[in-house]
């Protein structure tokens, strides 16, 4: 059997390994099986993480890790070398292409923000019962991007659906409107009109509450008019000490 040959598509600069038909089909079948297993594992983890975020699960929802997707192979079926300038790419379904492209998408987990910051008062803590404002900081509205997988063009548009804040005391706050930020101009004791929380129990003196922002993204994809949506979850955390203020009445 002849050794696989390597040639270069001069139009794109991409380098491909050309394989005999049977070997090519065998490698592609193995790759697609590996890809299907990774996608299935990620779907299961994504569903479990979404269920965790939506319920009062007391464990960190970021424990559901993702499986790395295998890269699209740089192989082509060998043919007449004279006709190899534009080899046919491996056949992948639109869904497979979308998953591979979305795995390369880089989104920054929104950072949980709390106002007024405990660092602004003399006690360096949030007070039990005091209304806190919650929002997320970061690129919450990224621009659509284009990518190409196995010579197939795909457009991706990520939308932040909501952020679910795990407050560290066993409670969660789900917010779809994250545009209202606390500022020093806010009247003391005013509740956030869109996303807020008041702790009922102190974390001190034992320590601080860990506040985790679970971002729920929807990645819309389009491949030549075929469309779909892939959910994505990200998490980021911060610490907030909470104590009780004692009022002395004489």
Query: For 41-51, how does the pLDDT look when each residue is reduced to its tens digit (9 = 90+)?
Result: 999 999 998 98
Q: Are 177 and 135 spatial neighbours (Cβ–Cβ below 8 Å)?
A: no
Pick the CATH number of 5-83+92-243 from 3.30.450.20, 2.60.120.10, 3.30.230.10, 2.60.40.10: 2.60.40.10
Q: Is the dihedral of CA 70, 221, 39, 110 positive or negative?
A: positive
Which residue, chain included where needed, has tokens 């010579």? 151
pLDDT at residue 249 greater than cutoff 60? no
pLDDT at residue 87 greater than cutoff 80? no
Distance CA 150, CA 22 (A): 20
pTM for the full predicted model: 0.83
Mean pLDDT over 68-87 rounds to 71
Buried b (16+ CB within 10 A) or exposed e, 152-188: bebebebebebbbbbbbbeebbebeebebbbeeebee
- For residue 66, which phi and psi values (nearest 5 degrees)? -100, 155
Mean pLDDT of the chain: 87
Element of type H or E holding 32: helix 21-54
Mean pLDDT over 21-45 rounds to 92
């Amino acid at each position: 059997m002849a050794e696989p040959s390597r040639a270069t598509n001069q139009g794109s600069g991409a380098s491909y390994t050309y394989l005999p038909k049977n070997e090519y089909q065998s490698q592609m079948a193995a790759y697609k099986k590996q890809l299907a297993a990774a996608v299935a594992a990620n779907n299961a983890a994504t569903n479990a993480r979404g269920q965790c975020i939506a319920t009062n699960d007391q464990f960190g929802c970021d424990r559901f890790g993702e499986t790395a997707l295998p890269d699209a192979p740089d192989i082509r079926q060998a043919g007449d070398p004279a006709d190899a300038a534009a080899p046919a790419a491996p056949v992948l379904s639109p869904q497979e292409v979308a998953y591979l492209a979305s795995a390369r998408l880089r989104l920054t987990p929104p950072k949980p923000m709390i106002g007024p910051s405990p660092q602004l008062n003399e006690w360096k803590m949030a007070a039990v019962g005091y209304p806190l404002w919650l929002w997320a900081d970061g690129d919450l509205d990224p621009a659509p991007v284009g990518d190409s997988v196995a010579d197939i063009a795909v457009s991706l548009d990520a939308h932040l659906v909501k952020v679910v804040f795990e407050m560290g005391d066993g409670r969660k706050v789900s917010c779809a409107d994250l545009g209202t930020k606390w500022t020093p101009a806010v009247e003391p004791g005013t509740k956030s009109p869109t996303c807020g929380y008041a702790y009922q129990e102190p974390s001190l003196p034992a320590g601080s509450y860990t506040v985790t922002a679970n971002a729920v993204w929807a990645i819309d994809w389009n491949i030549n008019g075929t469309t779909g949506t892939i959910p994505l979850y990200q998490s980021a955390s911060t610490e907030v000490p909470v104590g009780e203020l004692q009022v002395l009445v004489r």
